[in-house]
């Protein structure tokens, strides 16, 4: 019994050391390089490796030299079996004002090996609250939106792309 406990203690320590000492900055810059190949540029950010997490502050996101959004805080959590990205305080460019409200409080992205085919998303902002699922095998994005009063009154054209369910949620499904 003691050997089994000792084995799990050493194994847990090894996993935690791998996570702590992994090159998170390099992984971020690799992600940034991949985004650049898709014409998305992350600029002016401050990158800080905090051991188990990677923190990005004050990032601006551009495409074709056009500002898309400003993001105050992004936390990447790499835990091998469960990974998450927490994005806080997003301000979209004025160009988006006709489609969606410009302020988003938070967006959380989760991936787990327990559910390896799906990436889960959730968030809230002036538009309301949403939960989404992206199926990587079928390339299907499924969004469930609980719109705010602002979204229902000023952004009716955007809501027309969603199907209204019986419980008041708006559902959007698209194959990417």
Q: Which domain holds residue 95?
A: 79-176
Q: How many domains does the chain have?
A: 2
SS3 107: strand
162 lies in the same domain as 84: yes
Question: What are the tokens at 114?
Answer: 């327990």
Question: Are 71 and 93 in a shared domain?
Answer: no
54 and 93 in one domain?
A: no
pLDDT for residue 105: 97
Spatial neighbors of 26 by CB under 8 A, at least 6 apart, are none
What single DSSP character describes residue 169? Answer: -
62 and 138 share a domain? no
The Cα 49–Cα 64 span in angstroms is 29
pTM of the model: 0.87
Write out the chain's pLDDT in tens, 176 residues: 889 999 999 999 998 898 888 888 998 999 899 999 989 999 999 999 998 899 999 999 999 888 999 999 999 998 878 999 999 999 999 988 888 999 999 999 999 999 999 999 999 999 999 999 999 999 999 999 999 999 999 999 999 999 998 888 899 999 98
What string of H, E and C letters represents the secondary structure of 130-148? EEEEEECCCCEEEEEEEEC
Does residue 87 sit in the same domain as residue 29? no
Q: Give yes or no for a contact between 93 and 66, defined as CB atoms under 8 angstroms apart.
A: yes
Contact of 158 with 99, CB cutoff 8 Å? yes
User: What's residue 80's pLDDT?
Assistant: 79
CA distances from 65 to 57, 75, 87, 150 (A): 20, 25, 22, 30
Determine the 3-state secondary structure of 45 from DSSP.
coil
Q: Is residue 6 part of a domain?
A: no
Region of 65 please: left (phi>0), alpha (psi -120 to 50) or beta. Answer: left
């Amino acid at each position: 019994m003691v050997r089994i406990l000792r084995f799990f203690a050493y194994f847990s320590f090894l996993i935690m050391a791998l996570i702590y000492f992994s090159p998170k900055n390099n992984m971020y810059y690799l992600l940034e390089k991949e985004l650049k190949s898709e014409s998305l540029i992350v600029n002016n950010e401050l990158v800080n490796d905090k051991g188990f997490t990677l923190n990005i502050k004050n990032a601006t996101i551009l495409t074709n030299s056009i500002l898309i959004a400003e993001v105050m805080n992004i936390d990447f959590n790499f835990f091998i079996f469960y990974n998450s990205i927490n994005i806080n305080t997003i301000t979209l460019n004025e160009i988006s004002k006709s489609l969606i409200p410009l302020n988003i409080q938070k967006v959380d992205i989760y991936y787990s090996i327990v559910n390896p085919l799906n990436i889960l998303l959730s968030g809230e902002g002036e538009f309301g609250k949403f939960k989404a699922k992206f199926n990587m095998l079928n390339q299907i994005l499924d969004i469930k939106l609980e719109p705010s009063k602002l979204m229902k009154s000023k952004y009716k054209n955007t809501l027309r792309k969603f199907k209204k369910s019986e419980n008041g949620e708006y559902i959007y499904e698209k194959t990417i």
